[in-house]
């Protein structure tokens, strides 16, 4: 049974769980304390018209929940405000307007994708970076990159949950972040036609043909004579063996002798032009 | 204590006998034998990255046991709800088959809750002795669970939903507003391996608990819900309860 509270009577005192900055970015579930009724307000919470609805419990329960490691307290309580978000930044918990928090979160997702581009999708470190972006919001681009990452690592089983996510996203509006992340991933997609084709194929699972076609147009079909050819399959790529044979960082776009590309049909590249 | 004794006391606490309903009774017995164990995860689940990840008791983890666990004597046990999670919400949760409990024990309520929340009409020593008296061995306690479901909820669906028909309780702990006061708790000694056939289901908030370790659990466990803007459920607790509702025999 939930109770309604006015934001003006609430302070944010903590969040559910035992998370620290190593879990950043993460959206936290806030715990409020009500000054007028000596109660705490626990998730699940819903917000409407300056009010928040949640499970009320006696204030003394807070100490018990902290002791039971169910709740972590903030360094100091913050006055609760409507349309605000409590989240874990790399520097610690932050409570700020939803708009500002979302922008900061999306920037972290974009930064993570850019780091993956510099590192190489096949590298082990790419996994944690991509999951950072996943925690910001479930997007087809990140799920597809993760799925391809696991295929490149020779661990397709780990990619299956991401493929489920992609199917789950079919027909859903995943928002503007998709476009931003796709742009951030451009150097990675440009570095390897096989990877670009594989990412496009994964993205189709989410029925985002618009994004898939764009990837193919930009990074696969800029090669003459390929428009009617099937996209190279990631299954033709050599699985990851060791760090020495790992995919190179994208800058320079050179491929090693063990590059999977040599197993694929030869394509003639045409010069890319700025739009 | 003996399971039979608890069942006798439970029916005696009813006062007047219930009209006997064989269908409901057999449904309760079936559901109690099946009722899986749920466990909420609190941190960013780094422990799932171990080659053979396990749920560990605070003692085995080398972490400070909570006052509630010290009071209840469960410092070297991994505790589970026998039924859905009865907590505000968690970042992630795992559900295991009943068979996972093997050498475990159970109490008819959250044993740690007796420290400061439940049965406060009794003195501290009495509450401690009550925990000892009501600790039953697995899997025999499941007959007591069946009786409790029949007496208090009428059918297993209501137990899973946390809906009471009557707050019958020989120990006067059961309260409609506190689901942990009538949901059974299992205590498995020491540790429980995660990657076994006993792992039935998992759920995690996508925006909090998804990382390479949780993804490993997802790839092992087919039945797994990610809670995000696009999922059917808003919370892990809701997702777990829904899982029980869907799978009830």
* Contact criterion met (CB < 8 Å) for A69 and B208: no
Q: Does A168 touch chain B (CB under 8 A)?
A: yes
* Dist. CA A191–CA A119, nearest whole Å: 12
More confident residue, A164 or B208: A164
A271 contacts: CB under 8 Å, gap ≥ 6: none
User: Which residues in chain A have Cβ-Cβ distances shorter than 8 Å to B112?
Assistant: 68
* B151-160 per-residue burial string, b: 16 or more CB within 10 A, e: under 16: bbbbbbeebb
In this predicted model, what pLDDT tens digit does every residue of B54-105 receive, in sequence order?
999 999 999 889 999 999 999 999 999 999 999 888 999 999 999 999 889 9
Regarding beta strands A30-34 and A92-97, do their DSSP bridges make them parallel or antiparallel, or are they unpaired? unpaired
* Dist. CA A32–CA A153, nearest whole Å: 44
> pLDDT confidence of A237, banded at 50, 70, 90?
low
Tokens of B139: 């899997």
Nearest C-alpha in A relative to B222: A161
pLDDT of residue B117: 84
ipTM reported for the complex surpasses 0.95: no
In this predicted model, what pLDDT tens digit does every residue of A205-217 receive, in sequence order?
999 999 999 999 9
pLDDT of residue A136: 97
Between the alpha carbon of residue B28 and those of residues B142, B232, B249, the distances in Å are 10, 28, 10
Find which of B93, B161, B215 to mutate to test the A interface (most A CBs within 10 Å of its CB): B215
* Contact criterion met (CB < 8 Å) for B44 and A20: yes
- For B206, which of A22, A138, A146 is closest by C-beta distance? A138
Regarding beta strands A223-224 and B54-56, do their DSSP bridges make them parallel or antiparallel, or are they unpaired? unpaired
pLDDT of residue A270: 37
In this predicted model, what pLDDT tens digit does every residue of A171-181 receive, in sequence order?
999 999 999 99
In this structure, what is the dihedral angle of CA atoms A191, A227, A206, A246, given to the nearest 10 degrees?
Answer: -20
User: Which residues in chain B have Cβ-Cβ distances shorter than 8 Å to A17?
Assistant: 42-43, 90-91, 208
User: Which residues in chain B have Cβ-Cβ distances shorter than 8 Å to A136?
Assistant: 207
**Arithmetic mean of pLDDT, A106-119:** 98
Give yes or no for residue A220 having a pLDDT over 90.
yes
CA diameter of chain B? 56
* Contact criterion met (CB < 8 Å) for B88 and A16: yes
Give yes or no for residue A246 having a pLDDT over 50.
no
Give yes or no for residue B242 having a pLDDT over 70.
yes
pLDDT of residue B209: 87
Q: Does A53 touch chain B (CB under 8 A)?
A: no
> pLDDT confidence of A49, banded at 50, 70, 90?
confident
Give yes or no for residue A203 having a pLDDT over 90.
yes
pLDDT of residue A235: 55
Give yes or no for residue A257 having a pLDDT over 50.
no
> pLDDT confidence of A1, banded at 50, 70, 90?
low
pLDDT of residue A249: 32
pLDDT of residue A267: 35
pLDDT of residue A6: 93
* Dist. CA B66–CA A132, nearest whole Å: 31
Give yes or no for residue A252 having a pLDDT over 60.
no
Mean pLDDT for chain B overall: 94
pLDDT of residue B103: 86
Tokens of A85: 């978000």
> pLDDT confidence of B17, banded at 50, 70, 90?
confident
User: Which residues in chain A have Cβ-Cβ distances shorter than 8 Å to B88?
Assistant: 16, 42-44, 55, 65, 70
Give yes or no for residue A243 having a pLDDT over 80.
no
Lowest mean pLDDT among A79-83, A163-167, B1-5: B1-5
Q: Does A161 touch chain B (CB under 8 A)?
A: yes
Give yes or no for residue A100 having a pLDDT over 80.
yes
In this predicted model, what pLDDT tens digit does every residue of A124-133 receive, in sequence order?
999 999 999 9
Give yes or no for residue B230 having a pLDDT over 60.
yes
∠ CA A25-A173-A122 to the nearest 5 degrees?
50
* Contact criterion met (CB < 8 Å) for B219 and A1: no
∠ CA B219-A250-A25 to the nearest 5 degrees?
50
Upper half-sphere CA count for residue B76 (Cβ side, 13 Å):
2
* Contact criterion met (CB < 8 Å) for B43 and A29: no
Task: State whether the Cα torsion A102-A107-A110-A115 is positive or negative.
Answer: negative
Nearest C-alpha in A relative to B92: A17
**Arithmetic mean of pLDDT, A186-197:** 96
- Measured in whole angstroms, the distance separating CA A172 from the mean position of its chain's CA atoms is 16
Tokens of B209: 């608990």
Tokens of B52: 């053979």
Omega of the bond leading into B129 within 30 degrees of 0 (cis): no
Could you tell me what percent of chain A has a pLDDT over 90?
71
Give yes or no for residue A160 having a pLDDT over 50.
yes
* A37-62 per-residue burial string, b: 16 or more CB within 10 A, e: under 16: eebbbbbbbeeeeeebebbbbeeebb
What is the least distance, in Å, from the CA of A174 to any CA of chain B? 9
């Amino acid at each position: 049974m939930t109770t309604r509270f006015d934001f003006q009577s609430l302070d944010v005192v903590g969040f559910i769980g035992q998370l620290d900055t190593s879990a950043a970015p993460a959206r936290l579930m806030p715990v409020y304390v009500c000054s007028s009724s000596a109660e705490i307000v626990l998730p699940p919470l819903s917000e409407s018209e300056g009010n928040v609805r949640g499970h009320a419990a006696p204030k003394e329960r807070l100490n018990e929940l902290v002791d039971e490691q169910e709740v972590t307290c903030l360094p100091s309580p913050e006055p609760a405000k409507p349309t605000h978000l409590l989240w874990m930044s790399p520097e610690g918990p932050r409570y700020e307007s939803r708009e500002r928090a979302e922008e900061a979160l999306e920037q972290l997702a974009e930064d993570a994708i850019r780091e993956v581009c510099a590192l190489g999708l096949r590298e082990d470190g790419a996994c944690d970076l991509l999951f950072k972006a996943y925690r910001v919001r479930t997007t087809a681009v990140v799920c597809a990159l993760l799925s391809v990452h696991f295929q490149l690592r020779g661990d397709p089983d780990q990619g299956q949950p991401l493929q489920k996510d992609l199917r789950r996203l079919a027909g859903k509006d995943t928002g503007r972040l998709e476009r931003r992340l796709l742009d951030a991933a451009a150097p990675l997609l440009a570095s390897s036609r096989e990877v670009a084709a594989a990412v496009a194929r994964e993205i189709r699972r989410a029925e985002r043909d618009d994004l898939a076609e764009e990837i193919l147009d930009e990074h696969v079909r800029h090669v003459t004579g390929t428009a009617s050819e099937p996209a190279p399959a990631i299954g033709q790529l050599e699985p990851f063996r060791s760090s020495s044979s790992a995919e190179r960082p994208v800058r320079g776009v050179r491929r090693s002798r063990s590059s999977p590309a040599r197993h694929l049909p030869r394509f003639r590249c045409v010069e890319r032009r700025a739009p | 204590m003996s399971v039979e004794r608890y069942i006798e006391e439970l029916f005696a606490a009813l006062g007047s006998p219930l009209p006997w309903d064989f269908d409901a009774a057999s449904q309760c017995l079936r559901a109690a034998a099946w009722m899986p164990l749920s466990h909420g995860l609190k941190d960013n689940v780094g422990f799932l990255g171990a080659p053979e990840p396990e749920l560990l008791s605070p003692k085995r983890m080398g972490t400070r046991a909570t006052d509630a666990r010290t009071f209840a004597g469960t410092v070297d046990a991994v505790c589970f709800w026998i039924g859905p999670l009865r907590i505000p919400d968690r970042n992630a949760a795992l559900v295991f088959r009943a068979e996972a409990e093997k050498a475990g024990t159970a109490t008819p309520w959250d044993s740690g809750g007796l420290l400061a929340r439940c049965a406060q009409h009794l003195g501290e020593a009495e509450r401690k002795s009550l925990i000892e008296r009501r600790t039953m061995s697995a899997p025999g306690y499941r007959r007591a669970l069946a009786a409790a479901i029949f007496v208090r909820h009428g059918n297993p669906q209501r137990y899973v939903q946390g809906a009471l028909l009557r707050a019958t309780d020989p120990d006067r702990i059961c309260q409609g507003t506190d689901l942990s006061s009538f949901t059974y708790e299992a205590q498995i000694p020491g540790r429980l391996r995660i990657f076994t056939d006993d792992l039935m289901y998992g759920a995690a908030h996508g925006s909090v608990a998804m990382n390479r370790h949780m993804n490993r659990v997802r790839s092992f466990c087919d039945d797994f819900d990610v809670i995000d803007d696009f999922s059917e459920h808003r919370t892990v607790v809701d997702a777990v309860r829904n899982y029980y509702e869907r799978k009830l025999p």
